[in-house]
Amino acid sequence: MRLLTWLPGRLLGAAVVLIGASVLIFTAVRLLPGDYAQIVLGPLASAQEREALRTEFGFDHTVGEQYLLWLGQAVTGNVGRSLASGEPVAGELAARLPVTALLTAMAVVWTVVIGVPLGVLAGTRTGTARSTAAGRLVSSLGISVPDYVLAAIVVFALSSLPLGLSVGAVGSPAQDLGGTIVALLPPSLVLAVFAIAATARATRDSVLNVLVEPHVSAAVARGETRLFIITHHVLRNAAVPVLTLTGTITAMLLGGAVIVESVFDISGVGSYLVQGLGRRDYPVIQTCVLLATTVFVLMSLIVDIATGLLDPRVAVSGRNR
C-alpha cells in the first residue's frame, strides 16, 4: 500500500522529465553546426535554393513552432519522416531496435552474471595485498579503457585469427535468434566490460559495508554458516546500491551501443543515430536520443520500484519528501 501512494508521484516526475528532455533535445539538435540544407545541397548552392529547401521541410518556422508541430504528431506515434530516405522514422527504428535491444540485454546479462559474483567474492574473501592490488588493477583497466579501443582490438583479432566468428554478420533476431546471439557475443562482451568492472567494484564496496553491520556480527555469534550469512543477511542489504547502479548502467549501455555498433558494423539504433548525425537528419537524431532518454527514465522508475520492494524504508522516505 505504501508503494501505491508513492508511485503516482514518481510517474508524474518521469513524465515531466521526458517533456523537459524532449524540449532540450529538439533545441540542441537544431544548434548543431551545419543545417540540413547545407549538408544536402553543398557549399555551391545558392541562398535561394537553401531557403527553398528549408521551407519545404518547415525549417523556416521558429524552433518553438517546429517543436509544437512535432509534439502534436509525436503523441500519436508519428515522430516524423527521415529527411534522407523519406521513410517514417518509427518504421526504420522498429526494424533496427530488436538488434540493439538484444545487444544491450546480452551486455546486461554479462554484467550481472560476471560483475556481481566477482564483487561478492572480492568483498567476502580477504586475500593478500598482491591479489587485492591485482583485482584493483583489473577493475581500473575495465573502467578506464574506452569502448572504441577495446572494440577495435576485438575486431582486429576476429579478422586475423580463425575463431569462427565474423564482424558485421548480424541478422534479424526474429529470423535467426540463435545465429544473432552468437554473432553478438563479441560486441556484447566489449559493451559490458566497463559495466562489469563498475558493478564488481560497487558490489564489493556494498558487501564490505554490510559485513560490518551489527546484525551480521550477531549472525556470526549465533553460529550461522558463512554461506547462510552471505545469502540471507548480506546479499539482500547489499543489493539496493547495486540495483541502482545496474539500472543506470543498463541505460548507459544503450548509449554505448552507438560506438560498438559502428565499430562492429551492426545495423542497429546506434549506427542509425550516427548516420542521422552525419546527414543532419533531425527527426532521426531527436527520436534516437529521446528513445535513449526514455529508457533511462524507465529504468530509473523500475529501480525505484524494485528498491522500494527490497527496502520499504525507501518508499516511506520517498513519500515523505
pLDDT tens-digit series, residues 89-137: 888 888 888 888 899 899 989 988 888 888 888 777 755 555 556 566 6
pLDDT at 79 over 80: yes
pLDDT at site 164: 64
The answer to whether the beta carbons of residues 189 and 104 sit under 8 Å apart is: no
pTM for this entry: 0.77
Task: Say how many CA atoms lie within 13 Å of 188 toward its Cβ.
Answer: 23
| pLDDT class of 11 with cuts at 50, 70, 90 | confident
Whole-number percent of the chain with pLDDT over 70: 83
Please say if the pLDDT value at position 230 is more than 50: yes
What average pLDDT does this structure show over 185-213?
84
Using a 10 angstrom Cβ sphere, with 0-12 exposed, 13-18 middle and 19 or more buried, the burial of residue 143 is: middle
C-alpha cell at 283: 527527426
- How much is the average pLDDT of 282-292? 86
174/180 Cα distance (integer angstroms):
9
Phi and psi angles of residue 126, each rounded to the nearest 5 degrees, phi first? -95, 110
DSSP letter string, 79-118 = --B-TTT-SBHHHHHHHHHHHHHHHHHHHHHHIIIIIHHH
The pLDDT, as a whole number, for residue 6 is 67
Average pLDDT over residues 58-85: 81
Predicted local distance difference test score (pLDDT) of residue 321: 46
Lowest-pLDDT range of 8-17, 22-31, 105-114, 159-168: 159-168
pLDDT recorded at residue 166: 66
Scanning the chain, the segments in alpha helix (DSSP H) are 2-29, 36-41, 47-56, 63-74, 89-110, 116-124, 129-144, 147-160, 177-183, 185-211, 214-221, 226-229, 235-264, 269-279, 282-310, 312-320
Give Cβ neighbours of residue 103 (< 8 Å, ≥ 6 apart): 184, 187, 188, 191, 257, 260, 261, 266, 268
The answer to whether 252 and 243 have CB atoms below 8 angstroms apart is no
For 269-282, what is the mean pLDDT?
A: 83
Q: What is the mean pLDDT of the chain?
A: 78
What three-state secondary structure class fits 220?
helix
Query: Which of 56-65, 165-174, 239-248 bottoms out in mean pLDDT, i.e. has the lowest?
Result: 165-174
pLDDT of 44 > 70? The answer is no
Summarised one tens digit per residue, pLDDT across range 236-270 is 777 777 777 777 787 778 777 888 888 888 888 88
